Amino acid sequence: MGDFPEREAIILVAIMPAVRDLEIARLLGWYRIPLRKAPKVVDVDYLAFYQTGAFGQDHRWRVEYFAPVKGHEMTTRRELFRDEVDHPRANDEYFRISLGPLQALSNPVAAGNWRRLTFLYTTGERLLGARTLTDLVVRDDERQLLWRSLRERAQRSSEYRVEDWPAMELDPEILMLLGALTG
């Protein structure tokens, strides 16, 4: 069926509010998270998707799909949906999470008693063995390891890396012009 998460993989279970959003993830390879509602760390190995009541009787309130995370960037809703430039939240900032192929879980994870979920961190081992959302909750010593890993990723993703900047030579005339403009 594909590449399943390794047991230590960090997985963010995220809400999939509508069938349209699942199709965007499947066909276009991305998922969006509004910055104002985003979890503290989006630098994870996989996203798993909790489907809301909008998915109908047979597919609602469960996690059926996951995808590897390829990277993320900040953008606006206007850039994500260029045909919705007049949307009330067109200028809001979003994380655009780039995804690998969507994969179906062999055993979907049912909500159980839960109905509302926004984000939940878990591990590959828990995702692949879970029957209900409660089984995804990381507890005790494992929880400390998960939070330490998330903290390290957050620190790494905010580090300044010189190698990210391309080396380029500027013409001395341009430098003089820039100096004159700034006074």
pLDDT in tens, 35-86: 999 888 888 999 999 999 899 888 999 999 999 999 999 998 888 888 888 8
Question: What is the predicted pLDDT for the residue at 179?
Answer: 54
How many domains does one find in the chain?
Answer: 1
Q: In whole angstroms, what is the distance from residue 93 CA to residue 80 CA? A: 10
Question: What is the predicted pLDDT for the residue at 25?
Answer: 94
Range 141-145 average pLDDT = 76
Q: Which residue has the tokens 């509602």?
A: 37
SS (H, E, C) 133-171: HHHHCCCHHHHHHHHHHHHHHHHHHCCCCHHHCCCCCCC
Do the Cβ atoms of 130 and 136 come closer than 8 Å?
A: yes
Residue 2 lies in a domain: no
Verdict on whether the full-model pTM lies above 0.85: no
pLDDT above 70 covers a percentage of the chain that reads: 83
Q: Which domain holds residue 60?
A: 10-181
Quick check: 158 pLDDT over 60? no
Residue 5 lies in a domain: no
Residue 3 lies in a domain: no
Question: What is the predicted pLDDT for the residue at 1?
Answer: 41
Do the Cβ atoms of 31 and 25 come closer than 8 Å?
A: yes
Query: Among 57-71, 113-127, 148-162, whose mean pLDDT is lowest?
Result: 148-162
Residue 153 lies in a domain: yes
Q: In whole angstroms, what is the distance from residue 131 CA to residue 140 CA? A: 20
Q: In whole angstroms, what is the distance from residue 70 CA to residue 85 CA? A: 27
Residue 99 lies in a domain: yes
Q: In whole angstroms, what is the distance from residue 30 CA to residue 20 CA? A: 12
Q: What is the CATH number of the domain that holds 85?
A: 2.30.130.30
